[in-house]
Amino acid sequence: MKKGTIDIKTENIFPIIKKFLYSDHEIFLRELISNAVDATQKLKTLASLGKFKDELGDLTIRVEVDKKNKTIKVTDRGIGMTADEVEKYINQIAFSSAEEFVKKFKTKSEAERNAIIGHFGLGFYSSFMVAEKVEIKTKTYKKGGKTKAVRWECDGSPEYLLEEIEKEDRGTEVVLHIDNDNTGFLEDYRISELLNKYCKFLPIPIQFGTETVEEPVEGEKDKDGKPRTKSVTKPKIINNTNPLWKKKPSEATDEEYKSFYRELYPLTFEEPLFHIHLNVDYPFNLTGILYFPKVKKDYELQKNKIQLYSNQVFVTDSVEGIVPEFLTLLHGVIDSPDIPLNVSRSYLQSDQSVKKISSYITRKVADKLAEIFKNDRENFEKKWDDIKVFIEYGMISEPKFYEKAKKFALLKNTEEKFFTFEEYKKHIEKTQTDKDKKLIYLYATNADEQHSYIETAKERGYDVLLMDGVLDNHFIQNLEQKFENSAFARVDSNTIDKLIQKDEEVPSRLDDKEKDKVKAAFERNIDKQKFNVKFENLSESDLPVMIVQNEFMRRMKDMEAVGGSGMMGLGGLPESYELVVNTNHPLIGKMLKEKDEKVQDKLVSQLYDLARLSTSLLKGKEMSDFVKRSVDLIG
């Protein structure tokens, strides 16, 4: 038996490890099991090289909780350690790394402190975040003189105990004596939760607890002739050691991709739209599967759905900065050994390997979408309403993605026909180029509410896009910056002849004095704070009165609704509209000739309410008054 003191020149490092090494104490289990997996993988490698000739046998890693004795035990049958190796790797290298960590830690900012954690071999010492004492019982796979099993013990001070023990099997057993502040980790459900979170796809079987399964009884059948079964209690393996992303894409089936999605998200009942299998080994290693989920019509941001792994060890599901922002809306798994386990996200975001990975994923997603569009455009169009939020987000936020996506991004019109950008430009350039040679893209955000405006545009031979997505307001502005000599105008933002101005002009039937009288009559009966009266010389077939909203002000209002305009100092924008009076409509002439002001006001109110009704602005008591007045007029 040997007692010793680790040569530490600073004060006790354990309080600092306990307080600052990791922000979340729960990762102690991830670290211990990761070490056990490494030890097992090394033994398998030695066996494959012919340097270990014994039987590998059962390599399952076992986790046991003893609530009565307040211990958690992790056991593996990997390479194990000799006494000299315990001295070297536990007492010298890890402790000296810890001491170096402490020294550097004290001179750094908080962000820098987090960033340097991953540069030290401190995984094992995360045990002391939850344990008052830690034991290691280990026996090396090696044969020969100094290969007896040993036990190491430390209570979180620089003193340790190292002694020889009897241990039949090779491998390592780590026993944590849990302290009073962390007894919650002694609950089986808590350990199950952590194993499912961090170890779900580790490459070595991990057993925790037992499960009851039904097994057939050999040679016995029930009355229906089916094999008779019996309940058998077996050790429960909690992980899938060969997850689908480790397969080559050519070897995986569509059903396997769907099944794996259900494994990742057991509470999600809708199948994904399609998947992208990532598989690259140069200039970095990366595998993974990304899924395009079906997005609800009301659109809920569901970030934190991509799980990041390093060699099948879970790292985080908060991947902003690691994958491009727009792809955080996707679901799935990314696994890369080039992503270190124990560093802060700010460190990852500045890491060159991570930046390369981010660019690769963007390119791969764009290439996959282009391939689907090229090979099965009909299916791509059917899924467009569900996937366009991802594509528009990417085109707005990633210039490189825009350049690729502009070839397969679609525009849909109110007749539900789809066009690429180039196709749509050719579709409208003959009819929707105004007198200044500018191409006008008309669009609606609600086909039902803006129906009359859409129909008016169609009567002129124009086409109207349907831009009713959550990001379309921003996307339109992005496209205006990209498209040359073009503008987007919502179909109800002005009269159609003002939106696309041609050379010919329609004369007015009213002179200035008559216009003043008409304006006065309307201003007596409308909300002047909200509506500004203006005149347009339209045709007799156009509506007598229309309501439009200035394109720029409406966009600002829309941006304000999602928190965009406050940054411009606009504050709360009031609702404002223009009440357009058609100077050439017979009803306006009739109203002007009416001598009885009460009758005139009733007619003006009716026209005003009809215009508001067509734009969903007539509600409540005003709607009731309109209905009553309509009945009176009919009578």
Q: Which CATH class is domain 244-389?
A: alpha beta
- Token look-up 């050719």 returns 426
Cβ atoms within 10 Å of 106's Cβ, excluding its own: 10
The domain ranges of the chain are 2-207, 244-389, 409-505, 506-547+572-635
* Nearest-angstrom CA–CA distance, 33 and 36: 5
Bridge partners (DSSP) listed for residue 332: 290, 306
- The pLDDT of residue 32 is 92
CATH number for region 506-547+572-635: 1.20.120.790
Lowest pLDDT segment from 72-81, 237-246, 354-363, 572-581: 572-581
pLDDT digit string, tens, across residues 453-486: 999 999 999 999 999 988 888 899 999 999 999 9
Residue 37 region, left (φ>0) first, then alpha (ψ -120 to 50), else beta?
A: alpha
Paired tokens of 603 = 């007619």
Give domain 409-505's CATH number out of 3.40.50.11260, 3.40.50.2000, 3.50.50.60, 3.40.50.12780. Answer: 3.40.50.11260
Paired tokens of 619 = 């509600």
Per the CB < 8 A criterion, the answer to whether 438 and 460 are in contact is no
pLDDT digit string, tens, across residues 545-570: 999 988 887 777 766 665 544 444 44
pLDDT digit string, tens, across residues 307-344: 888 888 888 887 777 788 888 888 999 998 877 655 55
3-state SS track over 565-621: HHHHCCCCCCCCEEEEEECCCHHHHHHHHCCCHHHHHHHHHHHHHHHHHHCCCCCHH
* Long-range contacts, stretch 585-591, CB < 8 angstroms, 24+ apart: 585/538, 585/540, 585/542, 585/543, 585/544, 586/540, 587/544, 588/510, 588/518, 588/544, 589/509, 591/518, 591/521
DSSP-assigned letter for residue 267: T
Q: Does position 106 have pLDDT exceeding 60, yes or no?
A: no
Per the CB < 8 A criterion, the answer to whether 5 and 155 are in contact is no
DSSP-assigned letter for residue 542: S
* Mean pLDDT rounded to a whole number for the chain: 84
Question: Nearest Cα to 397, choosing from 362, 353, 424, 356?
Answer: 362
Exposed (0-12), middle (13-18) or buried (19+): which is 527, by Cβ within 10 Å? middle
* Nearest-angstrom CA–CA distance, 349 and 202: 25
pLDDT digit string, tens, across residues 249-308: 999 999 999 999 999 988 777 889 889 999 888 777 889 999 988 765 544 555 568 888
Lowest pLDDT segment from 54-58, 403-407, 567-571, 591-595: 567-571
Give domain 2-207's CATH number out of 3.30.460.80, 1.10.10.10, 3.55.10.10, 3.30.565.10. Answer: 3.30.565.10
Whether the link from the prior residue into 243 is cis, omega within 30° of 0, is no
Question: In sequence order, what E strands does 317-356 have?
Answer: 331-335
- The pLDDT of residue 121 is 47
DSSP for 17-63, please give it.
Answer: HHHHS-S-TTHHHHHHHHHHHHHHHHHHHHHHTTS--S------EEE
Q: Which residues contact 480 (CB under 8 A, 6 or more apart)?
A: 486, 487, 488
Paired tokens of 70 = 């307040």
Higher-confidence residue of 59 and 345: namely 59
Paired tokens of 141 = 């796979």
Residue 444 region, left (φ>0) first, then alpha (ψ -120 to 50), else beta?
A: beta
